[in-house]
């Protein structure tokens, strides 16, 4: 299937400065000032991260990996929209499941508070917004699971999982969901870690805060320490994505 919908459905491909930004940049150049305006990066992901999501999910469909598809930390549904589009087109027999508190991040424990990146309630997006987006696109509504991961996972997970997007941003959230997802993933299933920043592999000057989500890497590395799978890093501009394929 084509994946141009990634650029046309959302506002993610605006990387080049707009007209007024170009004008300001011209003035800056004239004044020999080493400053340029660029469009602000998006909040939840960028076009590279969405393309990684598209190709990894499409790969599990092409390889006929059995099981359903889960978006763990779906927020307002933009990642779920990409996933549902792929599934509706290529594997409509699969069910997409989306998990979120729909009220943002939980109370932080010291394991996350020490990173100084997030706070309770960050990124809150309601289920009504999620639903409206699917309606506006006339896209099949996935099964939504509202609540803290600690309450919905594993009890509301499908029996078998062919693809999982893991996007909880926190150490505690990632640590809680990984073993349950891993246990249900079929051989060949792919787990995509939405933000996995490894400065040894790909240091990106000036990257900070949510683009690094250091707790995610800590929890993921701890979990995979004694597993045969290894996390690979995928370039995603200001984001870094990780993924593993279940053996």
Ligand X SMILES: C[S@@+](CC[C@H](N)C(=O)[O-])C[C@H]1O[C@@H](n2cnc3c(N)ncnc32)[C@H](O)[C@@H]1O
Place of tokens 């939840």: 44
Q: Which CB sits closer to ligand X, 8 or 228? A: 8
Residue 36: CB minimum distance to ligand X, A: 28
Burial class (CB in 10 A: 0-12, 13-18, 19+), 93: exposed
Residue 185: CB minimum distance to ligand X, A: 18
Q: Which CB sits closer to ligand X, 172 or 184? A: 172
Residue 115: CB minimum distance to ligand X, A: 14
Residues that bind ligand X (CB under 6 A): 44-45, 73-75, 78-79, 100-101, 104-106, 123, 125, 148-149, 167-170, 173, 194
Q: Which CB sits closer to ligand X, 119 or 187? A: 119
Q: Which CB sits closer to ligand X, 94 or 176? A: 176
Residue 244: CB minimum distance to ligand X, A: 18
């Amino acid at each position: 299937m084509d994946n141009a919908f990634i650029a046309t459905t959302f506002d993610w491909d605006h990387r080049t400065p707009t007209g007024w930004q170009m004008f300001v940049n011209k003035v800056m150049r004239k004044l020999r000032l080493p400053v340029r305006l660029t469009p602000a990066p998006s909040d939840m992901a960028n076009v590279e991260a969405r393309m990684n999501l598209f190709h990894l999910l499409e790969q599990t469909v092409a390889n006929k990996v059995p099981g359903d598809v889960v978006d763990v930390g779906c927020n307002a549904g933009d990642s779920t929209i990409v996933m549902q589009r792929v599934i509706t087109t290529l594997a409509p027999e699969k069910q997409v499941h989306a998990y979120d508190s729909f009220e943002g991040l939980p109370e932080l424990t010291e394991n996350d508070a020490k990173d100084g990146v997030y706070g309770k309630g960050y990124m809150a997006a309601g289920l009504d917004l999620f639903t409206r987006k699917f309606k506006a696109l006339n896209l099949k509504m996935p099964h939504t699971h509202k609540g803290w991961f600690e309450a919905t996972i594993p009890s509301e997970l499908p029996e078998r999982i062919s693809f999982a997007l893991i996007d909880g941003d926190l150490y505690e959230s990632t640590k809680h969901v990984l073993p349950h997802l891993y246990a249900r993933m079929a051989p060949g299933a792919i787990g995509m870690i939405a933000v996995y920043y490894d400065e040894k592999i790909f240091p990106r000057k000036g990257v900070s805060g949510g683009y690094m989500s250091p707790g995610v890497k800590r929890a993921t590395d701890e979990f995979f320490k004694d597993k045969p799978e290894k996390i690979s890093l995928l370039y995603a501009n200001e984001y870094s994505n990780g993924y593993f394929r279940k053996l």
